[in-house]
Structure formats: C-alpha cells, structure tokens
Amino acid sequence: MLDQSPEKLVQVKDLKMYFPIHTGLFRSHTGDVKAVDGVSFDIIKGETLGLVGESGCGKSTVGRALLRLYDPTAGQVIIDGEDIATLSPEALRKKRPQMQMVFQDPQASLNPRMTLAAIIGEPLEEHTNWTRDRKTERIYELMDAVGLNRRFANRFPHEFSGGQRQRIGIARALALNPKFIVCDEPIAALDVSIQAQVVNLLEDLQAKFGLTYLFISHDLSMVRHIADRVAVMYLGRIAELSPRDALFARPLHPYAEALLSAVPEPDPNLEATRQRIILQGDVPSPANPPKGCNFCTRCPKAFDLCHAEKPQLQEVEPGRLVACHLFTPNNPAAGSTGGAEATEHNQQGETR
Amino acid sequence: MTDTTVIEKPRSFSRDVWDQFRTHKGAMAGLIVLATLILFVVVGPFIWRIDPTFVEPDAAKMIMSRNKPPTWAHPLGTDQLGRDMLARMMAGGKVSLAVGTVAMLISIFIGTFIGVMAGYFKRLDGTLMRMTDLFLALPLLPLLLVLMMLFGDRIRALLGPEAGTFLLIVFAIGVTSWMHSARIVRGQVLALKEREFVMAAKSIGTPSRRVILRHILPNVVSPIMVAATLGIAGAIITESVLSFLGLGFPPDFPTWGRLLYDGVEYMQLYPQRVMWPGLAISLTVLSVNYIGDGLRDALDPRIRGR
C-alpha cells in the first residue's frame, strides 16, 4: 500500500451501520436499512479524504458513525490508536476534543437561543475549567482565526448570513484543537461565492493547525479542489478509493466513471463534445440491496460474476483501491474483461 | 480585524428580556392588571378591615342586610348571609391566586419533566407516554373525589385545616393536569432532538443532562409558556369545582370560584353576585395570558432583535 509509511490517523475497518426496520402490529424487526455496509478506509495524518456519492448513498452516515454520533452496527473506527466504536461513554467524552464535526446546514447546527460567544464557547465549557477571561480570550482568538469580527460575540445566529454561520460552526469545531474534523457537506447550503470562501478557509486552517479532514460532499469540482484522495461511495459501499488526480484523470470503477462524466466542463468547446455516461434505472433500496455487486443492476459492464458475488475493495494499482470484479486479479474472467476494459478506456480517450 | 480594542460588553440577558417585554403593549397591560389584582388581595385586607366571614348575630338585622346592592358601607354589596362582598373578594382572591399559581407550577414541572424524558430518551418513551395516556383516560373528577376522601382527613390532621386543604387541592390539581403539557413538550423535544445543533452538542461531548438544560429546554419555552398560562385558569376553575362539591375548602372559606358558585343561585335577582368573582377570574386569566405572550416573545432572540 502507498500509505504504509505515513502515519494513519483514522482507520476504518469494515464499518457497518444498519438502521432497523420495524413493521406490523408488534413492531417486530423485519429488516435493516443498510446505510453503510462494510466500509474500510484509512486517512493519513494531515490529508483530506474526499467522500463523494449521490444522495442517500450513506456518506453522512459514515461521517456520523465515525464520530459515534450513531452507534455502529459492526466494525472498527480507530482514531489515533483508540477504537471509537467500543469506547465507554466516559472515555468517549474524553476523546471528543480530538475529533469534531462541521455540519451541513449552518442554520440548523447553531442553537437559535445562544449567542455566538456561547456557541463557540460550549466546547470550552465542557472540556476545560478555565476562567471566564481565558475562555473569552480563546473565543476571540477563534473568531479571528475564522474571520469573524470580535464585535459579533454577543449576537445571535439569526443575525448572520449563511457563510458567517458556517464560520461560527467551524470556529466551534476548532475550539479544542482537534486533530480530525469531519466536514459533512459544509458548503452544500451556501451559494457559490461563499462556498469558495469557506473552502479556502478550511484549507488555510488545515495548513495552520495541521488538521486532517474527511470532506463529505456531492460537489465533485469542490472535492477535486480540496481533497488529496477521494473515496466514491455507492449504496453504502466504497466503489473506488484513489488519489485525486488519478481518479479524475482515469476513473477505474464503472460507477466512478459515470459519476465523473457528469461534471460539467468549463471550456464550451470541450463541453460540446463531452460524452456523458447516463446510467439506467434507479438506485436500489438500501433495505434490499442486490445480491452481487451493489452496482450490478445499473452497471453497463456487468457480467455474470457481478450478479453473484460482492466484489471486495482491492488495490489494483499503486494507491488505487477498487471494488469491481473487472479488476480482480485472480478472477478467471479478469483476463478477457480486463482487456475489454482497456479498450474501453481507449475509446473514452478518443471521444475526448 | 478592525478595531478589536473596542468590544461591546456583553449585554445582560435579563436587561434584554425586559427591554423587549416593555415593547409588548398587551403584556405590559397584563402585568399592570395582575399587579393590581395581587395588590388588591394582599394589601386590600389591611385597608378594608371587615371580616369576610362576619355574619350579623342578630337574626333580624342579618335578614335585613342580605343581598344588598352596592352601598358606601358595602361597596360590592353583601351576600345571602349579609357578609361583605368586598372583603370576601379579597380573601377569596388570595386563595384562588395562590392555588392557581402553585398548581400550575406543579403541573408544568411534572409535564415538562415527563415530556422531556419521554421525548429525549427513547427507552422511556413507551412507558411514560402510556402512563400519560392512562392519566388522560382516567375520569378526573371521581379520581379527585377519591383522592380527597382517602387523604383529606389525614393531611388536614397533620398540617391543620387550611394549609392541609391548600396542599391537598394544589397537589390534586397538579397531578391531574400535567398530561397535555407533557404531550406537547414530548412532541417538541422529538423534533428538536434531531436538529443539528443537538447533534453538534453531542459531538462536542456534552452529556445528556446539559444538552437538555442548554439546548432543549430553552427551545421548548414557548409551548410551556402557553400551557402554563392556560393552566392557571384551569386550576382556578377546578378549585372552585372541588369547593362546590364540598371537597375543597370548607363552605364558609371564600375563594373566587366558591363565590361564583354561591352566586349562581341568585344570578337572576342579583347579577352582581356572579359578576365580581367572574370578572376577577377572567381578568386574572387574560392578564396572565398576555404576560405569557410577552414573555415568550421576549425570551426569543429572533423576535427580540426586531
């Protein structure tokens, strides 16, 4: 593996998050929504891992399970040497300062009845026994760091614009000097010019404080801008995990290929000739995923094995992990399909 | 950053609330009316020194002084035993207001506690809400009657007739009127619990107790306030019903509800007998309602800013 030598801050092993379905008169347990179904990845210290996928594929659930805002059904989440998934409540509370979260909706993530100072100060209130002056000093420091005027300290969230609110959310996440921040679509609710500001702020803060991000988004161009490596999720599983440039240049997994073909091209001449891969059908229900590969119902390249067996995430090229039978080295069909795959990539190249 | 040296001092919270409260005309009017009523029942008896239970010992005189219209000697007239209505209004108001307030506080406290517990902790939800349904399904009046019958004498013996009855009534009304506020609060808490700021507080590591106190309760103040203001009215009325059935305060002990019921028989002939206590109850309820309204607005920073 490429990331053998650098220090892994976060290791996720076979994380599963099922939400039970209760039906009938007696609310009996009749099934599970498999929001996250066996996800494994590592995040290296100081890097940004982008997590992309369409709505409902389990991105946010991964983010929340990582911080144990949900209790995972199975699997391990090792952050800085400790397994978050099995920590006792008290140990978890002690661990909380190291991992924080920036939420999607800056309006909903701030308590409307608390002042800005109280919101940013809440983590300090919970985890330090500093004097009031010292807390105030730290709150002002954080407001400076995220670019909020100190005069705003006594105002309430409704008095701010969306971008400013997101800055408040970021300041709160930074309050305890975390190592790892889960950014759960932090820019989805903002308009484009503000998105750029917030993403640049996140990058600046990363450089300044040496933060590690899990950046969840469905905005591929933003992920391309900020992430070092990108994981593509489909229906609760990771389809492909590759370094950013490699993924955007040549996606391996058929789903990643289809997803990336949907990114608009800024150059109108290229845009005119851009070939989109339009997937047929809908995403299957996560309560009842297909038997084989989760993507087999819509995959243009699916073959028999795909309908029978779930592919595992495997390293097929240095640093690139793909969960697809097309790339399985010991697959008896790999020789022929691999060849077919190669020609298809050539075709892609020609059309561009 | 621009001039970081000049930073506004944090404004005091109570100051903010009061400033906003003052701009609410209805609430200020309500506050003045309620203050007047409280003054009337607390200070009044020291100025108007007629004994509210005084009945003329001479039978002929007593019969002459029954059901008098307003005169200088009796500004609100007299009742069917010739007792001074003004004095009875003062004495009755003290009890009614106290019963209303304390019973409301008990019912709101129980209701909010049960509602928050049921809404926030999923494991308690089923049990607590079924218990609430159980209380809702119980016929209240028979329950109150049984309660009074079972514990009335014992508590009265323990605490003396007045304090004992007061405590019993307040407790009985409190424990039988919390269900609606519990349901309302539970619904609100269920919605609030899924909001991202509660999630954010959990991700910070705030324990449930403080999540509830810091994030949940301030945001359910509005429905609690409405339930509380309505609760005062309900408690005053329920107390009068109990007194009417002979299970509350003794018959010669005046309360507004009691005066109202005593006057009902004579309503056709002497309408002032029901008008005064009715007016007092209505004014109390109305003013408390307006105060609750103003307070709710004043506590909400989104409205306060305007």
Q: ipTM of the assembly?
A: 0.78
Q: Is position B4 within any domain?
A: no
- Would you mind telling me the total number of residues written for chain B in this entry? 306
Q: What's the pLDDT band for A337 if we cut at 50, 70, 90?
A: very low
Q: H-type helices in chain A, by residue range?
A: 59-66, 89-95, 116-127, 132-145, 162-174, 192-209, 220-226, 244-249, 254-260, 268-273, 304-308, 334-351
Q: What's the pLDDT band for A345 if we cut at 50, 70, 90?
A: very low
Which pLDDT does position A5 carry in this prediction? 59
Q: State whether residue B133 is helix, strand or coil.
A: helix
- Measure A14 CA to nearest chain B CA, in Å: 22
Would the pLDDT of B116 be above 90?
Answer: yes
Q: Is position B256 within any domain?
A: yes
Which pLDDT does position B19 carry in this prediction? 83
- Measure B219 CA to nearest chain A CA, in Å: 7
Give the best-scoring range by mean pLDDT among B60-69, B108-117, B206-215: B108-117
Buried b (16+ CB within 10 A) or exposed e, A315-329: ebeeebbbbbbbbbe
**Range in A275-284, B113-122, B247-256 the model is least confident about:** B247-256
Q: Is position B214 within any domain?
A: yes
Q: Is position B276 within any domain?
A: yes
B288 neighbors B232 (Cβ within 8 angstroms): yes
- Average pLDDT score, chain B: 82
Interface membership of A133 toward B (CB under 8 Å): no
Please tell me the total count of domains within chain B: 1
Q: DSSP character for B214?
A: I
Would the pLDDT of B303 be above 90?
Answer: no
- Residue at A130: amino acid letter: W
Interface membership of A292 toward B (CB under 8 Å): no
Q: Is position B143 within any domain?
A: yes
Would the pLDDT of A165 be above 70?
Answer: yes
Which pLDDT does position B241 carry in this prediction? 78
Q: Is position B101 within any domain?
A: yes
Q: Least CB-CB distance to B196: which of A103, A117, A126?
A: A103
Q: Which residues contact A228 (CB under 8 A, 6 or more apart)?
A: A47, A48, A49, A243, A244
Residue with tokens 């305060």: B249
Which pLDDT does position B113 carry in this prediction? 93
Would the pLDDT of B114 be above 50?
Answer: yes
A258 neighbors A279 (Cβ within 8 angstroms): yes
Q: Is position B303 within any domain?
A: no
Which pLDDT does position A113 carry in this prediction? 86
Would the pLDDT of B3 be above 60?
Answer: no
The H or E element that residue B193 is part of is helix B179-193
3-state SS track over A307-344: HHCCCCCEEEECCEEECCHHHCCCCCCHHHHHHHHHHH
Chain B positions touching A64 (Cβ under 8 A) are 199
- Measure B186 CA to nearest chain A CA, in Å: 19
Tell me phi and psi for residue A263, to 5 degrees.
-75, 125
* pLDDT per position as a tens digit, A30-76: 888 888 888 899 999 889 999 998 888 888 899 988 888 888 888 88
The rounded distance, in Å, linking the Cα atoms of A106 and A104 is 6
Q: What percent of chain A has pLDDT over 70?
A: 91
Cβ–Cβ contacts within 10 Å for residue B305, how many?
A: 12
Residues of the domain holding B269: 26-38+84-298
B11 vs A154: CB contact, 8 Å cut-off?
Answer: yes
Average pLDDT score over residue span B36-54: 82
Residue with tokens 């978890």: A92
A64 vs B197: CB contact, 8 Å cut-off?
Answer: no
Domain of B107, CATH number, reads 1.10.3720.10
Q: Output the CA–CA distances (angstroms, integers) from residue A334 to A141, A331, B75, B117, in the order listed.
A: 57, 5, 105, 58
* pLDDT per position as a tens digit, A212-251: 999 998 888 888 889 999 999 988 889 999 999 999 888 8
Comparing alpha-carbon positions, the chain A residue that sits nearest to B9 is A154
Side-chain half-sphere of A116: how many Cα atoms within 13 Å? 28
Greater pLDDT, A331 or A239: A239
Q: Is position B157 within any domain?
A: yes
